[in-house]
Structure 1
Amino acid sequence: MVQPRVLIVEDNPEDALLARRVLKKVGLGANVLVLEDAERAVAYLRGDGVYADRTAHPLPVLTLLDLRLPGQNGHELLAWMRGEPDLMHLQVAMLTSADDPAAIERSRLLEAACHLLKPIKVEALRQLAAEVGIRQ
């Protein structure tokens, strides 16, 4: 059985590595793709160019989205996703290093599944996976 795709959109390689390790600990580490910015994430999510083959590049069951990305930020990318019929229901967890009430509220309004503080804790990701119905 092929494990569901998890997409990490994170420009900091250390944070991306830590997220991958936590995903592995909760049983979701076998099919992870890390993209460094919103532009690449949009290409992936649209299935553009090298990502056109949906068998090789399926839509993610969960996206871990950094709030602070170069260029388009995480909230802007999430707002775009919510406007796309094929993507509007994807599960997205916002990643941030600060507990900012305004950012948390904006994430909630954009229907993010949750706001996770970096570094991500194993139990928080395990709970998120259970809440969004991802089998581990």
Structure 2
Amino acid sequence: MSSLPVGSHALLLIEDVPEDVKLIMSALNKIVPPEQIQVAASGEEGLDYLFGRGAFAGRDTRYQPALVMLDLSLPRIDGLEVLRQIRAEAQTRVLPVVIVSASSQQKDIRTAAQLGANSFVRKSLDFVSLSETLTLLARYWLELNIPPPHPSLMSR
């Protein structure tokens, strides 16, 4: 993985359950160094990071993460609303967003797809299975996927 500009991260994890954060970080450590992962404990904090607001005011939002992993059950602003707001803004519209959720409700899966989620992955209760899934997921989005050009270059 290439070096990142100061203040930017390869991955934004929006997850409010500390135990899940710990498990996900452990699963991803083969692919992404911990210092390249920004964790947001609420939907509001995740949006603040992406849009350079609140505690992240002044962050250079030209540098967005290569991947957002988003839980659905979040305090303040739920995951589907976070996804809706991400897709509503030109600077984040094509940002890869993967839902990583304990939900397997068809309504959640359908709504996430309609809002533009790139993928929906169910959190497994089995750590080995979850670890393998997240490793494959991160490897695909961070190593194999070719991202679109920066939004400021897309109209050229």
Shorter chain as denominator, the TM-score bin is 0.7 to 0.9
Q: What is the Cα deviation at residue 67 of structure 1?
A: 0.4
Whole-angstrom distance in 2 between the partners of 1:124 and 1:111: 21
Q: What is the Cα deviation at residue 23 of structure 1?
A: 1.2
TM-score by length of 2: 0.75
Whole-angstrom distance in 2 between the partners of 1:92 and 1:47: 18
Instruction: Give yes or no for the alignment of 1:16 onto 2:21.
Output: yes
Instruction: Give yes or no for the alignment of 1:135 onto 2:143.
Output: yes
Deviations 1:54-109, CA, capped at 9 Å, x for gaps: 28x94111111110001211001100110000001111111211211111111111
Q: What is the Cα deviation at residue 131 of structure 1?
A: 4.4
TM-score by length of 1: 0.85
How well do the aligned residues superpose, as a CA RMSD in angstroms? 2.2
Which of the numbers 28, 47, 50 marks the counterpart of 2:32?
28
The change in CA–CA distance for 1:58 and 1:20 in structure 2 (over 3 A counts) is farther
The higher radius of gyration belongs to 2
Partner of 1:6: 11
Whole-angstrom distance in 1 between the partners of 2:71 and 2:14: 6
Deviations 1:29-66, CA, capped at 9 Å, x for gaps: 340111111111111111124422328x9411111111
Partner of 1:80: 85
Q: Report how many residues are paired.
A: 133
Whole-angstrom distance in 1 between the partners of 2:88 and 2:59: 22
Whole-angstrom distance in 1 between the partners of 2:79 and 2:41: 11
Partner of 1:54: 60
